[in-house]
Structure 1
């Protein structure tokens, strides 16, 4: 069910995911807590950047975390052991074709659907694991919501490369805007979706550094080799585009991005 992870499994990508999770912890996880004793499934835990937030904000949950990458699972285990040593997590190497044959009170999915060719099928499979009245929480980004100052066609071109490469790999980096209909199509009730917006300028230096520079620009940079190899841009065009995009993190620059957080019930 999965697709090629367009950003790659590299140390740089691990750093980016960690910076993103730390910078946006309150923005993304605000309003999400689970009662102690609840059985919670994190589908696609990656390197554990979001897992730390889950177990920290909901101590005492019975968390099962799955991921398709054994290397990512190993990093996730180490990360949780360092930052939340009290937490007990059941780590499992599996993809969405091999979901646990058991029931959960809640499911949490963050930055996973964008990489799947059939997100409705994945959401439907996850719904089958929920107890009556259980909830699913889904968080996704939407690269079409990225706009910045100074405007630059060269900067927009490198962002578009990321969108095109993810689509070629079978995913959708514009999926945030589709969360509501996707959850409805998968059969969830009482679906609610809201934007969680990031805006960064020189008066918000922690967001300029943690999000604009270390999350978004780093994410675009992760596909440089693929973009050039695919002939989407030349190496010189790519370098010029990144230089222009980096101006949004310089004094006088601004950057806007919207994540979408959806909740549905069974």
Structure 2
């Protein structure tokens, strides 16, 4: 990110109101650098793998492509979702792209180890400048990608170009405004809000899930259907408490601590109090709720 003054300019308009303000307009009018707010550390790679494995049944249910189908996965990252795409659609011909060559190298190794028979081609490419012919794919899959873009509508136009008429687009996004906690804590919600603000300043929108239907419809897709996929964790679901609450969500928020402090969003004491309260939701007697949104549209 830029200097402190520039960053504070970006953050100034980021209201904690989850329904209005720059966040609900994908950062419109804000200076952005389109950085991946979670970073590319080994810890983040592990978090993405934990997230994908924990949520595979929830997010990938109903997504299976016929053998021989040409499937484009955009923003594949370290291959965490690619493994589940390949596992659910044996025989599909998957093309996975990411702008990070380092992430693609990790993805290739990970998928080869997990699904050695998967038919996957790997390309370093920018989603806005896809190196594929028009109508080259039968299906497009994008999971947790649009939330990091300042112009998701333009990205969807690029995806429509490479999708054949009658082909499907599947988009999965979260929405940090859907978080419900017990014990509830304003301090925990404040640290979540800091992550939302930082993602907005980087050009993204951590509240994008709620907007998928109008977003895809506005991009020209037909028959758009959005289904909420609710994740709920309590002591009776220890795998979800560990995989979702601790290793996915809390780990994601904790990762922006240094940036939240350096940009003046919070103090160390306030941050630590909020994280401590957030961790209580993963203890005995705590509960955590989050809603993902899965949208499917057809290219007319």
- Whether the TM-score (by the shorter chain) exceeds 0.5 is yes
SS of 1:12's equivalent in the other structure is helix
- CA drift at 1:71: 1.0
Deviations 1:167-210 (Å, cap 9, x if unpaired)? 11111000000000000011000000010000000001000000
Q: Is the 8 A contact 2:129 2:158 kept in 1?
A: no
Which residue of structure 2 aligns with residue 161 of structure 1? 194
Q: How does 1:109-258 map to 2 (within 5 A)?
A: 109-258=142-291
State the 4+ residue runs in structure 1 displaced beyond 6 angstroms.
none
Paired residues, number: 266
- Give TM-score, length-normalised by structure 2: 0.87
SS of 2:204's equivalent in the other structure is coil
Q: Please, which runs of 5 or more residues in structure 1 have no aligned partner?
A: none
Q: Is the 8 A contact 2:128 2:154 kept in 1?
A: no
- CA drift at 1:121: 0.7
Q: How does 1:56-135 map to 2 (within 5 A)?
A: 56-102=87-133, 103-135=136-168
Q: Please, which runs of 5 or more residues in structure 2 have no aligned partner?
A: 1-31
SS of 1:8's equivalent in the other structure is coil
Which residue of structure 2 aligns with residue 27 of structure 1? 58
- Give TM-score, length-normalised by structure 1: 0.98
Q: Is the 8 A contact 1:2 1:115 kept in 2?
A: no
Deviations 1:196-253 (Å, cap 9, x if unpaired)? 0000000010000000000000000110110000111111111111010000000000
CA distance in structure 2 between the aligned counterparts of 1:122 and 1:147, rounded to whole angstroms: 31
- CA drift at 1:32: 0.2
CA distance in structure 2 between the aligned counterparts of 1:31 and 1:2, rounded to whole angstroms: 35
CA distance in structure 2 between the aligned counterparts of 1:80 and 1:228, rounded to whole angstroms: 36
- CA drift at 1:132: 1.3
Which residue of structure 2 aligns with residue 38 of structure 1? 69
- CA drift at 1:96: 1.1
- CA drift at 1:2: 7.9
Deviations 1:110-151 (Å, cap 9, x if unpaired)? 000000001011011101111111000000000000110111
CA distance in structure 1 between the aligned counterparts of 2:205 and 2:128, rounded to whole angstroms: 19
- 1:4 is aligned to 2:4: no
RMSD, aligned CA: 1.0
Deviations 1:22-53 (Å, cap 9, x if unpaired)? 00001000000000000000011000000000
- CA drift at 1:98: 2.2
CA distance in structure 1 between the aligned counterparts of 2:257 and 2:106, rounded to whole angstroms: 25
CA distance in structure 2 between the aligned counterparts of 1:97 and 1:187, rounded to whole angstroms: 17
